[in-house]
């Protein structure tokens, strides 16, 4: 913000401020001892504002300036009404998720929560959940053998492979390359249903309940299910490539839900939901905190990709709704 000049008369200064405002040049008119200083918000509009000020000082009583005050007041009233409508659209999903419901029960959200709880109970009782991980093998499976003749270690690397249980590629098992599966496509999604601890599942189900219920009530079951699949698959594959196969949790999908509701609500007034500022702050601060390592080993790539998917989908949906 920069000053462009001064006007001694208060009425004239405010009249010129209204003229700039009515012409979409945002400014402040501040009293400064024996004059009024004109401050321009946008540096790109400085030159235009200076030119307008020079013209105004020549003929401050011209009708285009006196008539601008009425136009500026009308614009301010319209903006105030829009801000009031936006405030009513804001929803704290943690307390008001069903207050503006479109009438669609969050069936899938409840089903996913129940499935996550069931799988966590299976984990606590010692059941083998290895088929639910995205893979049992990283991108480069390695084995070290000792040579019988020389006693030296011989290091063998797996052939480049990605998701061998899905693609059918062979991996190094023991001292031989073996086929470990094929077309196990459920692995692309199922890591989201597993959780590492009671606190982990409680935290994720808390956000899934509120964010998922809000989104499902607006999109309906089919589109909501499609979004869940896309967010899960992309965030899981990204996390696998970045850090290997042994990760779990719903957080990537939750960040996708958050990103969609945040951006769709911000850009589509008719969507019916605008996330409140506290929810936005909590989610973004937690995202940053996880990157610091203070909360242990976290699937940060899944979080980030989920958020990107949600933001992109929310923005595209808002554009189509216009």
User: Residues in the chain, how many?
Assistant: 322
Domain edges within the chain: 2-87, 92-133+185-321, 142-179
In a 3-state reduction of DSSP, which class is residue 183?
coil
Tens of pLDDT along the chain (322 residues) come to 889 999 999 889 999 999 998 998 989 999 887 899 999 998 889 999 999 999 999 988 888 888 888 888 888 888 877 777 666 555 555 555 544 444 567 899 999 999 999 999 999 999 999 999 999 887 765 555 555 556 565 555 555 568 888 888 777 676 667 777 788 999 999 999 999 999 999 999 999 999 999 999 889 999 999 999 999 999 999 999 998 899 999 999 999 999 999 999 999 888 888 888 899 999 999 999 999 988 888 999 999 999 999 999 999 999 998 7
Q: What's the pTM value of the predicted model, to 2 decimals? A: 0.69
Handedness of CA 213, 214, 217, 220 (dihedral sign): negative
Nearest-angstrom CA–CA distance, 312 and 160: 31
Nearest-angstrom CA–CA distance, 65 and 257: 49
User: How many beta carbons lie within 10 A of that of residue 104, not counting itself?
Assistant: 14
b/e for 12-30, b at 16 or more Cβ within 10 A? bbebbbbbbbbeebebebe
Query: Can 303 be counted among the known catalytic residues?
Result: yes
Query: Can 251 be counted among the known catalytic residues?
Result: yes
Which residues make beta-bridge pairs with 91? 275
DSSP 8-state assignment for residue 144: E
User: How many beta carbons lie within 10 A of that of residue 163, not counting itself?
Assistant: 22
Q: Which two tokens stand for residue 61?
A: 């009583």
CATH of domain 92-133+185-321: 1.20.1540.10
- Asked if domains 2-87 and 92-133+185-321 share a fold, the reply is no
Q: How far is CA 209 from CA 98, 139, 245, in A?
A: 11, 34, 27
CATH 3.40.50.970 fits 2-87, yes or no: no
Q: Tokens 């869940």 sit at which residue?
A: 228
Do 17 and 29 contact (CB within 8 A), yes or no? yes
């Amino acid at each position: 913000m920069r000053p462009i000049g001064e006007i001694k008369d208060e009425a004239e200064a405010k009249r010129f401020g209204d003229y700039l405002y009515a012409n979409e040049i945002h400014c402040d008119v501040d009293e400064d001892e024996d004059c009024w200083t004109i401050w321009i918000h946008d540096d790109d509009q400085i030159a235009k504002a200076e030119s307008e000020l020079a013209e105004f000082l020549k003929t401050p009583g011209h009708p285009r300036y006196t008539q601008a005050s009425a136009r500026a007041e009308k614009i301010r009233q319209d903006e105030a009404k829009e801000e009031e409508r936006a405030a009513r659209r804001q929803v704290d999903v943690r307390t008001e998720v069903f207050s503006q419901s479109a009438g669609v029960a969050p069936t899938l959200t409840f089903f996913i929560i129940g499935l996550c709880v069931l799988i966590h109970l299976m984990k606590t009782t010692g059941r083998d959940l290895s088929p639910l991980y995205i893979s049992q093998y990283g991108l480069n499976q390695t084995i070290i053998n000792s040579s019988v003749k020389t006693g030296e270690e011989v290091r063998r690397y797996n052939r480049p492979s990605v998701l061998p249980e899905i693609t059918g590629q062979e991996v190094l098992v023991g001292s031989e390359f073996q086929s470990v599966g094929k077309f196990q496509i459920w692995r692309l999604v199922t890591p989201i249903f597993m959780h590492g601890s009671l606190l982990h599942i409680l935290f994720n189900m808390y956000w899934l309940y509120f964010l998922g219920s809000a989104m499902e009530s607006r999109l309906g079951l089919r589109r909501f299910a499609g979004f869940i699949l896309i967010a899960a698959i992309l965030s899981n594959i990204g996390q696998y490539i970045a850090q290997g196969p042994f990760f779990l949790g719903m957080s990537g999908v939750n960040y996708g839900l958050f990103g969609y509701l945040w951006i769709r609500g911000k850009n589509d007034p008719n969507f019916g939901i605008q996330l409140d500022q506290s929810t936005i702050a909590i989610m973004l601060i937690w995202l940053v905190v996880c990157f610091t390592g203070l909360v242990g080993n976290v699937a940060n790539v899944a979080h980030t990709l989920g958020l990107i998917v949600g933001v992109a989908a929310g923005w595209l949906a808002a554009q189509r709704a216009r």
